[in-house]
């Protein structure tokens, strides 16, 4: 079972991963981190995409990564430089970043194919 979310949905992927031991794969696009004390409950493999210019969400990334390392969660993090929160939303022309969006999506589909096969 896999879960994918963007923005608030990305935050929900991170939170649900801490409470759903049956989850196999979680993909969060620019989602805030869950509570550090809940991270050891994550059993899913996680793929996390962050926008380089998104200071608010990125403030949660470092502690999240440290908690995942400590808990031995399997994860990958990608930070896309010079793009804003919402870079994958092609209806928000001022934020959409075509190259970053395509790269993140290709990583997402490959990750899900690999983990969920």
- CA dihedral (45, 20, 12, 106) positive or negative: positive
Residue 31 and residue 50 in contact, taking contact as beta carbons nearer than 8 Å: no
- How far apart, in whole angstroms, are the C-alpha atoms of residue 78 and residue 65? 12
Give pTM, 2 decimals: 0.96
pLDDT of residue 68: 98
% residues pLDDT > 70 (the chain):
100
Q: Which domains does the chain have, with CATH numbers?
A: 2-116 (3.40.50.1820)
Average pLDDT, the chain: 97
pLDDT of residue 63: 97
pLDDT for 24-55, tens place per residue?
A: 999 999 999 999 999 999 999 999 999 999 99
């Amino acid at each position: 079972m896999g879960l994918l979310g963007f923005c608030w949905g990305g935050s929900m992927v991170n939170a649900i991963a801490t409470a759903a031991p049956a989850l196999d794969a979680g993909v969060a696009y620019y989602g805030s981190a869950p509570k550090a004390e809940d991270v050891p409950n994550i059993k899913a493999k996680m793929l996390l995409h962050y926008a380089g210019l998104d200071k608010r969400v990125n403030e949660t990334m470092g502690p999240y990564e440290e908690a995942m390392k400590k808990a031995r969660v399997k994860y990958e993090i990608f930070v896309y430089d010079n793009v804003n929160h919402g870079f994958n939303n092609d209806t928000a022309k001022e934020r959409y970043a075509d190259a970053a969006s395509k790269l993140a999506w290709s990583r997402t589909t490959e990750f899900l194919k690999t983990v969920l096969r």
